[in-house]
Chains A and B, each alone.
Chain A
Amino acid sequence: MFQVTRIIPFLTILLFSFFYLFPETAFSGQVSGELKSSGGDEIQIFLKIRAPAPNTIIITLHLPANTAVVSARPAFAKAQPQHGEVNWLLSRVQPGNVKIWCKLNKNVKVSEIIASVRYKNPQTGKMEEDMISGSE
């Protein structure tokens, strides 16, 4: 009788080999991120930058109506409250992890926030925009 468990090691090796040979297929882009709530009115954005790193990235937060950022580290570069939009411009980015912390003027669920990151992919020379997923 065919046992599925027998092919698991084989499949694992195959999968690792595939991602090792074609690393670009393992991830959607050079930057991936996660939006987390550290309690009530504070949120954090964790970004993972892969090599070759894009030169500059723009992180955008779309907040619910009447919500604004009251404090942020690093400081945001652009705010358009009429659109509920806040942007960070990070230049000379290096491969690794980047963390952005910000405090809002009221409690907001992560699921109510839309976050994205834009950059010029150094491998393709094309502009890319990746969504940043959220978790409470």
Chain B
Amino acid sequence: MNSQGEGHKTDLQQLPPTVNLDGSKVRQIRESKGLTQLYVATAVGVTTDTISRWENRRYPTVKRENALKLAEILEVDITEILEAEEKPSTVDEEASQDTGTPTMPASETGEAREEKVQPGEDDQDIAPSASGRKLLISILLLLIMAAVSGGTYLYFKPHKETLEITASRFLPDHSAPGQVFPVVIDVYVKPAKQRTLLVKDGDHSGIEFLKAVPNFTSRNGQFVKWIYQGDLGYTKFIYLAKIKKGVSSGDLFIFQGQVTVKERKKHSIPIEGNNLISALPFSWADINKDHVIDDEEILEAYDLLSGIKDAEKTLHEVEVLWSAGSYRWDMKKGKFQPVRKTTEPEKALKQTGNQ
């Protein structure tokens, strides 16, 4: 016993505060020695229920002192009744009770405490071992890290914007050779933001390009081009052109154009809308070609070009034709002549009216 006591002293210093017993080994030794659970319980200072629990569990966690007492009573070395590869437990039965965790009460402290055992005391049976808990914690941490990383990526990742570009052209159906007509290109880019826009429009031949708002970046005999930088959303490009003199009446001119937006890669779309203009002896504003510019036609022309300084002359020419009531094409002079159906006295009246 003395040697064992010395051994216990040595063990006492080496063992952790709680140890895991080998329950089946405890039962085996106790039964081989013919000891009852009551005897062992009394000797250790715990209840028979506690002894039963120790024996029925595979590796119950008990306090180091109780384990040593048990080993002494069973007359074996402490190492014989410990779990084969004893590792210090991270859960103290008594500590878990203090925190109110519904685990097994520390029944080892005596009968008085044993009476307080609640129905849920066996919860510790299903509690994972220390290594299992570490694994669970690791998985949990990994999941949290994955969630945080995923959230951060989703928050900071560049939003994929769908670039929407539309471009439409207003081109009159007809114009007389040598007479100025307007072309309006409406470009709509969504979402609106700082971008570079390339607009190219024109005809292969027969058209002379005059002025533009905004100014052309470049032009030649066939095409006009704008390189436009700005906070693009809705942008209007207007230019004045005329059919070259000498073409035959009825000649057709085909306009082709495209809009390119540079954003990482190029997005190009063709300019939609009317792309045909024919050389005819009618004003471009005379939509129904009846040699009369009516109210609707003059309003349309103003709606298109009002406020454009370079288009004022063109607009004034149309207004003169509207004001006259009708017009005719003077082929020799190559221009429109207003036709007034007013008598001389009426003309005089109008002149005095505008004084």
Residues of A within 8 A of B (CB): 55-56, 58, 60, 68-72, 75-82, 87, 89, 91-92, 102, 105, 118-120, 127
Contact = CB atoms under 8 A, between A and B. Distances in A.
Given A80-B325, A89-B319, A71 B306 contact: no
Contacts of B352: 70-71
B355 to A, nearest CB: 7
B342 A81 contact: yes
Contacts of B265: none
B353 A76 contact: yes
B86 interface: no
14 contacts: A55-B307, A58-B295, A68-B349, A69-B353, A71-B352, A71-B355, A80-B325, A81-B342, A81-B343, A81-B350, A82-B346, A89-B322, A92-B307, A127-B296
Contact of A81 (B298, B346, B354, B355): B346
B117 to A, nearest CB: 72
Contact of A70 (B303, B322, B349): B349
Nearest to A104: B353
A90 to B, nearest CB: 10
Interface residues on B, range: 20 to 34
Interface of B: 295-296, 298-300, 302-303, 306-307, 319, 322-323, 325, 341-343, 346, 349-350, 352-355
B63 to A, nearest CB: 78
A102 B273 CA distance: 44
Contact of A91 (B296, B300, B302): B302
Given A79-B346, A81-B342, A118-B299, A68 B306 contact: no
A105 B354 CA distance: 14
Contacts of A118: 295-296, 299
Contacts of A91: 302, 306
A71 B353 contact: yes
Interface of A is mostly: strand
Interface of B is mostly: helix
A55 B349 contact: no
A56 B353 contact: no
Contact of A55 (B295, B296, B302, B355): B302
B301 to A, nearest CB: 9
Contacts of A56: 298-299, 302-303, 306
Nearest to B349: A68
A80 B242 CA distance: 32
A115 B300 CA distance: 21
A120 B306 CA distance: 13
B236 to A, nearest CB: 13
A77 B355 contact: no
B299 A75 contact: no
A35 to B, nearest CB: 18
B184 to A, nearest CB: 14
Given A81-B343, A120-B300, 6 more contacts: A56-B298, A68-B349, A69-B349, A81-B342, A89-B322, A118-B296
B306 A92 contact: yes
Nearest to B350: A79
Contacts of A105: 349
Contacts of B302: 55-56, 89, 91
A115 B258 CA distance: 46
Given A80-B325, A82-B342, A82-B346, A75 B353 contact: yes
Contacts of A60: 295
B323 A77 contact: yes
B133 to A, nearest CB: 63
Contacts of B300: 120
